[in-house]
């Protein structure tokens, strides 16, 4: 089952051990190379205002009440995450990115995305079109296999009228190293 970004952001991080919130997830750490959520920046509930990172592998479950983890100890100081440093420096955000086709037609801007909570890959982008285009078409849902390229300023997708080739691979991308 896919979950919307709104189900992951600004949600309490709940400890199974104590049964209470230990932090609040405020921003996703997204790897732009494979559109995977590597973790979340969290605001510590114990030390008000201290920013910590919750890695995706430490998430036990995503519930309507919040994100479930084993204990407070899974939250890490951002300085300690050497392997994730490069991805964190990107400060990549999907929401608000312009979406264009490979034929340079502007489709709109990303307003939301859905994620597979098991793998934490972004599976679908939700794009709102301009006022003129929305009169005839409304909002768009774009699957990850339609994405051709991701840059700092835009997301390029396969032309919507162009069919997906029958021999196109439907495999998960390799994790960034």
The alpha carbon dihedral of 57, 97, 65, 15 has a sign of positive
Q: Distance of CA 154 to CAs 9, 84, 112, 127, 176, Å?
A: 22, 23, 15, 12, 20
pLDDT at 95 over 60: yes
Q: pLDDT tens for residues 59-86?
A: 999 999 999 999 999 999 999 999 999 9
20 Cβ partners below 8 Å, 6+ apart?
14
Query: Other C-beta atoms within 10 Å of 48: how many?
Result: 7
Domains and their CATH numbers in the chain = 3-90 (3.90.50.10), 98-157 (2.30.30.240)
pTM: 0.84
pLDDT band at 41 (very low <50, low <70, confident <90, very high): very high
Quote the CA–CA distance of 177 and 167 in Å, as a whole number. 27
């Amino acid at each position: 089952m896919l979950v919307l970004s709104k189900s992951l952001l600004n949600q309490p991080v709940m400890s199974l051990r104590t049964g209470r919130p230990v932090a609040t997830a405020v921003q996703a750490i997204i790897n732009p190379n494979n559109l995977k959520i590597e973790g979340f920046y969290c605001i510590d509930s114990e030390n008000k205002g201290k920013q910590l990172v919750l890695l995706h592998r430490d998430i036990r479950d995503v519930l309507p009440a919040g994100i479930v983890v084993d204990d407070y100890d899974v939250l890490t100081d951002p300085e300690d995450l050497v392997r994730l440093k490069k991805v964190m420096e990107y400060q990549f955000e999907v929401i608000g990115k312009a979406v264009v086709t490979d034929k340079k037609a502007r489709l709109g801007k990303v307003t939301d995305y859905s994620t597979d909570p098991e793998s934490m890959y972004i599976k679908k982008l939700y794009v709102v079109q301009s006022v003129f285009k929305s009169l005839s078409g409304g909002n768009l849902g774009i699957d990850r296999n339609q994405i051709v390229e991701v840059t700092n300023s835009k997301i390029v997708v396969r032309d919507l009228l162009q069919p997906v080739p029958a021999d196109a691979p439907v495999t998960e991308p390799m994790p960034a190293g």
